A and B are shown apart, each in its own frame.
Chain A
Amino acid sequence: MKKSVLFLIALLVVVGTLWGALDGIHPFGEVDKAPMDDYYIENAQRERNVNNLVTSVVFDYRGFDTLGEAAVLFTAVCSVLAVFRKGGYD
């Protein structure tokens, strides 16, 4: 009984806050204008001499991000080797 009352209160709080946040979302299909997007679209081809804007963002403007992804893959290979190695656990 006490648990369900607590659950109901928590549910009301979560739903209330989410409902309030739903009001602030921009309408579906109308994207917010962000200065960063416009900057990429207008200047990437001239600045970086590349036709593929997605690649220019992934490997140049946000290259540090891709370095993290490559490190994640390296860590995955290391952990697979650690799990499937020969010789047990000692």
Chain B
Amino acid sequence: MEPLSIIVRTICDIFAWFLAVFGAYVIIHGHLSPGGGFQGGAVVATFMALLLVSHGGKKLLSFVKPGLYSWAETTGLLLFIGTGFAGLTTAFFYNFLAGEGGLFGAVVPLGANSGILNSSGTIAVMNMAVGLEVIGGLSLIILYMFKGIRLYDDTGREETGHDR
């Protein structure tokens, strides 16, 4: 993929970071506002797609390390399963952190209120774990599918090269 014009590249350079920050906000506030791990992770994965489209594959693939995203995906899934198993003394997926006063353990007042970020126990931990996994997984899918692009000529029979 050829790099786009300098206007597109500059705008994407700036706004990709805002997108990443917004996705992180959606993940972290998953237990207070609409959204959560899956949605916020998809927003953060847009970061990779935006840079890939604007800068072209040759430049991006020279400094992106797929091992990092692979690590993020594996860590997210293991953290999710581990949090589920950590409550196993009571039940699988038991919320053992909620209301205990420690990490994510604030007691929420009943009725309508503006929300406490340090509440909801394992729900927040699982949101972040799923967010990490979705960031890694969707970015890896974008990278792998991009590496698989082949270009063909107009008749569709002869391969003219790959688009990297």
Which A positions have Cβ atoms within 8 angstroms of B?
45-52, 54-56, 58-60, 63-64, 66-67, 69-71, 73-74, 76-77, 80-81, 83-84
Contacts and interface: CB of A to CB of B under 8 A. Distances in A.
Contacts, number: 107
A77 B137 contact: yes
Given A45-B108, A63-B93, A64-B92, A51 B123 contact: no
B120 interface: yes
Interface of B: 30-34, 36, 38, 73, 76-77, 80-81, 84, 92-93, 95, 98-99, 105-108, 110-111, 113, 115-116, 119-123, 126-127, 130, 133-134, 137, 140-141, 144-145, 147-148
* 6 nearest A-B pairs in the assembled complex, by CB-CB distance: A84-B148, A63-B93, A50-B120, A49-B98, A49-B99, A59-B123
15 contacts: A45-B110, A46-B110, A49-B108, A50-B108, A50-B120, A51-B31, A59-B36, A63-B126, A64-B93, A69-B38, A70-B80, A73-B134, A73-B137, A84-B145, A84-B148
Given A70-B77, A73-B134, A49 B141 contact: no
B127 A55 contact: yes
A51 B137 contact: no
A80 B76 CA distance: 19
A48 B140 contact: no
